[in-house]
Structure 1
Amino acid sequence: MELFYSSQISNQIALLDEQESRHCIKVLRHRQNDELNFTDGNGNIYSGKLSKADLRQCEITIQNIQQEEQRNFELHIAIAPTKAMERFEWFLEKAAELGVEEITPLICRHSERKHLNMERCEKILISGMKQSNRSRKPKLNEMTPFNKMMNHTADVKAIAHCSSGDKKSISEIMQASSLLLLIGPEGDFSEEEIKLATDASFIPLTLGDKRLRTETAAVHAASITYFLKN
């Protein structure tokens, strides 16, 4: 199913932005009165007719709305963006495809990237959502200092790190209906950050006996989490 995205929906009319409009007309060669499907990123899938075929702004007349069933589990990944931006963008794409509910970019002591182009990140999330025919776009928060995450709430809070010590596996914490998972930068979390998190009731977590890249660890954790929940 071809799936477009619109954030401008009012009075049974949806507008596609210029990028979506050009893709619709130039690439997919849709014409006026063609039937299209699109989502608002909030769990709704709309169907309708292309009432105005314009390269700058297409209009769709809505004929039907279906709401995607919401999971009974929410995963929030707080992750330190990688120095190589393409690797973090790969994570965003896969997180959207897997259906991660919320993402917070972290600023940690060992972070090598402390600024993001949020507009570009949102576009990648939209692309990943459409690619997997999902109707829910992950919520992307602003860059957040590590210590600010200590006040966030979830049924279970966990921190995946490479330091030694007793740790639980993902399967041991899956009784929760919501999970906040911290994934550190390429230099891992500092010992001070690990202590701060454990003092704030974050559970030390292992993702296996191999050292994973930041973005790989996040996708690996999300995949296991949803597999166990489903």
Structure 2
Amino acid sequence: MNLFFTPPDRVGEKELLIEGQESSHLVKVLRHRQGDLVQVTDGSGNLFQGSIISARSDSTRVTILSRETKQKRSPSITMCIGMIRKRDRLEYAVEKVTEIGADRIYLFHGDHSEKAGLRIDRLESAALSAMKQSLSCWLPVISHFKNLKQAVEQGDETAVLIAADETISGFDGCYSVTQSENFTLVVGPEGGLSEAERNYLKSRDAGFISLGANRLRTETAAAVMCDRFRNRC
């Protein structure tokens, strides 16, 4: 069954409302009608099973038959990703870390980042599509920062801070991946992390990890990094 999305403020005690493109897709593409059963998430961990009361291209009303609150994912993961100049590759990075299970996506302009435009609305759309495709009920928060320091300091101070670093082999740090419940993971832009950025991370007691012998593109590194810590491998 397809998964649909509606924001938390469109969910009531007995009914919920699906609007905009979600409703248009439900009616015009999937041809749902009154009485059809649908499943809907609010992106905040809640899953609703419901029956369509009325279906229009601009809005669809659904009676809530059941609701389930999913257990919060552990560990909690914040992905800090250096800006990528090509928009499609940045959207790919957001899509993949959403599918894998990032809770927050912080984009930052690194010292080695190339100048790039940013459309948060397109990235949010990519994340929404990935959440539904993966049948997840958690929609990551996407934020943009001027530099790495701002992105890291926006995160949880109790999080274990780990950065991907192609200049090392193995893991340089003193943290237990199996015991930690909160990670802030850093992947630099195409030019990698600068010496100043590495020194800043060291001042924050960050660990550094190699993602393998081959040099990875930023979007690939972000997916590998997220998967490694989401699945604690």
Which residue of structure 2 aligns with residue 4 of structure 1? 4
Rounded Cα–Cα distance in structure 2 between residues aligned with 1:113 and 1:15: 40
Contact 2:107–2:145 (CA<8 Å) still a contact in 1? yes
1:103-182 mapped onto 2 (5 Å cutoff) = 103-151=105-153, 152=155, 153-164=157-168, 167-168=171-172, 173-182=177-186
- The alpha carbon displacement at 1:149 in A equals 3.4
Q: Which residue of the other structure, out of 46, 54, 57, is the alignment partner of 2:56?
A: 54
Contact 1:25–1:31 (CA<8 Å) still a contact in 2? yes
Rounded Cα–Cα distance in structure 2 between residues aligned with 1:189 and 1:41: 32
Rounded Cα–Cα distance in structure 1 between residues aligned with 2:170 and 2:53: 60
- The alpha carbon displacement at 1:195 in A equals 0.8
Output the TM-score relative to the length of structure 2. 0.90
Which residue of structure 2 aligns with residue 195 of structure 1? 199
Which one is further off, 10-19 or 62-71? Answer: 10-19
- The alpha carbon displacement at 1:141 in A equals 1.9
Rounded Cα–Cα distance in structure 2 between residues aligned with 1:36 and 1:164: 49
Which residue of structure 2 aligns with residue 205 of structure 1? 209
Rounded Cα–Cα distance in structure 1 between residues aligned with 2:209 and 2:170: 9
- The alpha carbon displacement at 1:57 in A equals 1.1
Contact 1:79–1:184 (CA<8 Å) still a contact in 2? yes
Distance 1:126 1:150, change over 3 A: closer
- The alpha carbon displacement at 1:154 in A equals 3.5
1:10-21 mapped onto 2 (5 Å cutoff) = 10-21=12-23
Q: Unaligned stretches of 5+ in structure 1?
A: none
- The alpha carbon displacement at 1:71 in A equals 2.2
Contact 1:77–1:104 (CA<8 Å) still a contact in 2? yes
Distance 1:58 1:35, change over 3 A: same
Rounded Cα–Cα distance in structure 1 between residues aligned with 2:174 and 2:98: 20
Which residue of structure 2 aligns with residue 71 of structure 1? 73
Distance 1:90 1:156, change over 3 A: same
1:17-32 mapped onto 2 (5 Å cutoff) = 17-32=19-34
Output the TM-score relative to the length of structure 1. 0.91
Which residue of structure 2 aligns with residue 93 of structure 1? 95
> When the two structures are aligned, how many residues end up with a matched partner?
229
Q: Unaligned stretches of 5+ in structure 2?
A: none
Which residue of structure 2 aligns with residue 82 of structure 1? 84
Which one is further off, 103-112 or 39-48? Answer: 103-112
Q: Which letter maps to 1:74?
A: S
The percent of aligned pairs where both chains have the same amino acid is 29
Which residue of structure 1 aligns with residue 189 of structure 2? 185
Rounded Cα–Cα distance in structure 2 between residues aligned with 1:163 and 1:54: 55
